[in-house]
Amino acid sequence: MSGTRAAIRYAKAILEIAQSKGVADAVNVDMKTIALTVTENLELKNFIENPTLKVDQKQSALLEVFADANSVTKSLFHLLFENKRFEILGAIALEYNGLFDTMNGVEVATVTTAVPMDEALEAKVLAKIATLSDKKITIINTVDPAIIGGFIIRIGDKQYNAAVANRLQILKRELSN
C-alpha cells in the first residue's frame, strides 16, 4: 500500500515538473515505454526489484536501457537512486500515465478478448466506444483465452461482459435452479 501511495506522489511530482518544462507529452511516452518494458521484461523487473544489488548499478543500467529518455525521466532515476526506491518504478510509470490521461481528458477502455484484436477490429471497437463517451478514448487490448470468445469492455468503473464464458456461467446458473 505504501508503495502505491509513494508511486502516486512521485508520479504527481514528475508530472508537475514535466508540465513546468513543457515536456509532459515526451515524459508520458517515456513512462509508457518504462511501464511496458518493466511488465514485459521479467529479467529487468527482477533486476530492479533485487534488494541485493547496489542502487548505483540499477541507476546505471536504467540510464543505459532508457538512454533516449527525456531529462525529466532521467531525473526520476536519480531521485529513485537517492531514495533507494527503484522497486516502484513500474508503478510510478503507470500512475504517471493515468494522471496524464486524466489531465488531458482521455479515458482508457480495456477490451479483453480471447485472441488479440487486429487493427481493423480495434478501430471499429474504438469508434463504437467513442459514441458512448464525451472523452477521448484509448484502447488497451488484453488477451485472456479463458473467456473462450466474445469480449469484456471496462471503462472506468463500468463493465460490459459479452464473453462466452460469462454466458455459459449464466446458463449454468439458470439450469441449476
Last residue of a domain, one of 48, 82, 102: 102
Structural domain ending residue among the three candidates 102, 126, 155:
102
Name, in order, each residue with C-beta under 8 angstroms of 146's C-beta and a sequence gap of 6 or more: 165
Q: What is the pLDDT of residues 8-20, one digit of tens each?
A: 999 999 999 999 9
The residue out of 102, 131, 161 marking a domain boundary is 102
Q: Cell match 478501430: residue? A: 123
Q: State pTM to two decimals.
A: 0.75
Reply yes or no on whether the pLDDT at 1 is more than 80.
no
Q: What is the mean pLDDT of residues 45-54?
A: 89
Percent with pLDDT over 90 in the chain:
68
Do residues 129 and 153 make contact, with C-beta atoms less than 8 angstroms apart?
A: yes
Domains held by the chain: number: 2
- What are phi and psi for residue 58, nearest 5 degrees? -65, -45
Instruction: Name 64's Cβ contacts closer than 8 Å, sequence gap at least 6.
Output: none
What is the rounded distance in angstroms from the CA atom of residue 132 to the CA atom of residue 139? 14
Do 118 and 98 reside in the same domain of the chain? no
93 and 6 in a common domain: yes
Task: Show the domain range for 69.
Answer: 2-102
